Structure 1
Amino acid sequence: MTDFDAKSRNGGRLMWFAAWLSLLALLVLGFDGWLERQYNPNSELRALSVDGKAEVVLQRNRAGHYVAPGLINGQPVQFLVDTGATRISVPEPLAQRLGLRAGFATRVTTANGMATVYDTQLDEVRLGAILIRNVPGNINPGMPGDMVLLGMSFMKDLELVQRGETLTLRLH
């Protein structure tokens, strides 16, 4: 075998390796997008207005939760709709990045038991077309991750209608 044949064979193997690597990368990216859509089918909310009232329609994710992007004081966050939460609850590391100020400490009962949280005031909270100002919230030091619990301090002025796999929130 000549030196040219060996180089040609090595070049061919390198091309096959690159092709397989590219295919693997495309599969990983496609699967990652599919997983994200399963976790958050509401990643792109559209502004809706029905009869002049702001409205958001959320799709339930695979786990049965309603997850959606939103804004707190103009900064992007991920919300988890939690009708069992009295207030919006923000994990402490996220609250620091958002520039929220911690107020008085309060003991609350959570799904994980008793916790100490700190009162805060959110100037603006937006979910799709729905914008509510001066919303009471809590900063929760024991809450992991960056997911914000969207509690009743936001939803108290909304009409909530759940049908099948959708939850419609409409501003009164």
Structure 2
Amino acid sequence: MGGDEGMQLAYYVLLLVVIGGAMLFELSGRGGQALRQLVLWVVIFAGAIFAANLWLDGGTRQQIVQGGRIEIPVGRDGHFHLTAQLNGVDVRFLVDTGASSIALAPPDARRIGIDPDSLAYIGRAMTANGEVETAPVTIDELAIGDIVDRNVRAWVIGADLSGSLLGMSYLRTFARVSFEGDLLVLER
């Protein structure tokens, strides 16, 4: 269990203790009216936080990797998001069939050990926000579960990009790219 999962479990246990304690307190009839109302507000607040976390996280649906098959559920925004490890670092991608290649946002490039400020921006690409400069790079290792690719070509975008894009140059490495309901399925 990772650190984030452990923290989430601790949060849910604490939430259960607060709600359970409040119910026992209320049902036992002990305590003054003001204290019971305070506990009720704490329970309401904790429930609102719980609901907000579920909504912001998109529920518990995450990508599933089984052997050479990756299932990516559609996000609340209607797009497919995939988390891959680049040089051992988690990077969240928007799967973009309109992008011709992997486009790294400068912050993601920096996190995986590529200094965007020292690159030669020799290319150009058209984005939804207009033309941008691009710099070719090679990602030493791109891993999604058991699927590992080495020396993967990508481009660092020389402009503000809200996130990195996983484009067709990488999607073409799969034997099958398909949609099954609200899932994007990639298979090798």
Same fold flag (TM > 0.5): yes
Asked if 1:151 is matched to 2:172, the reply is no
Amino acid at match of 1:92: P
Q: Which residue of 2 aligns with 1:93?
A: 107
SS at match of 2:154: strand
Amino acid at match of 1:154: Y
CA distance in 1 between counterparts of 2:148 and 2:128 reads: 27
Asked if 1:28 is matched to 2:61, the reply is no
Contact 1:56–1:130 (Cα < 8 Å) also in 2: no
Contiguous gaps of at least 5 residues in structure 1: 1-10
Amino acid at match of 1:17: L
Q: Which residue of 1 aligns with 2:66?
A: 48
SS at match of 1:138: strand
Asked if 1:136 is matched to 2:153, the reply is yes
Q: Which of the two has greater helix per residue?
A: 2
Equivalent pairs counted in the alignment come to 154
Q: Which residue of 2 aligns with 1:17?
A: 38
Amino acid at match of 2:167: G
Amino acid at match of 1:80: L
Contact 1:73–1:124 (Cα < 8 Å) also in 2: yes
Residue 112 to residue 41, structure 1, CA distance change in 2 (3 Å): farther
- Residue 112 of structure 1 and its aligned partner are, at CA, apart by 1.7
Asked if 1:126 is matched to 2:146, the reply is no
- Residue 56 of structure 1 and its aligned partner are, at CA, apart by 0.3
Summarize the alignment of residues 36-75 of structure 1 with structure 2, pairs less than 5 Å apart.
36-37=57-58, 41-42=61-62, 45-49=63-67, 54-75=68-89
CA distance in 1 between counterparts of 2:160 and 2:97 reads: 17
CA distance in 2 between counterparts of 1:89 and 1:20 reads: 47
- Residue 78 of structure 1 and its aligned partner are, at CA, apart by 0.9
- Residue 137 of structure 1 and its aligned partner are, at CA, apart by 1.0
Contact 2:85–2:143 (Cα < 8 Å) also in 1: yes
Coordinate RMSD, CA, aligned: 2.4
SS at match of 2:64: coil
Amino acid at match of 2:48: L
Cα deviations by residue, 1:51-89 (Å, 9 ceiling, x for unpaired):
xxx110112223321112221111011111011112211
- Residue 141 of structure 1 and its aligned partner are, at CA, apart by 3.3
Contact 2:65–2:144 (Cα < 8 Å) also in 1: no
Contact 1:135–1:153 (Cα < 8 Å) also in 2: no
Give me the TM-score of the superposition, normalised by structure 2.
0.71
Q: Which residue of 2 aligns with 1:167?
A: 184
CA distance in 2 between counterparts of 1:65 and 1:59 reads: 9
Contact 2:136–2:153 (Cα < 8 Å) also in 1: yes
% identical aligned pairs: 29
- Residue 25 of structure 1 and its aligned partner are, at CA, apart by 2.6
CA distance in 1 between counterparts of 2:64 and 2:74 reads: 16
Q: Which of the two has greater strand per residue?
A: 1
Give me the TM-score of the superposition, normalised by structure 1.
0.76
Q: Which residue of 2 aligns with 1:117?
A: 134
Amino acid at match of 1:75: V
CA distance in 1 between counterparts of 2:42 and 2:158 reads: 42
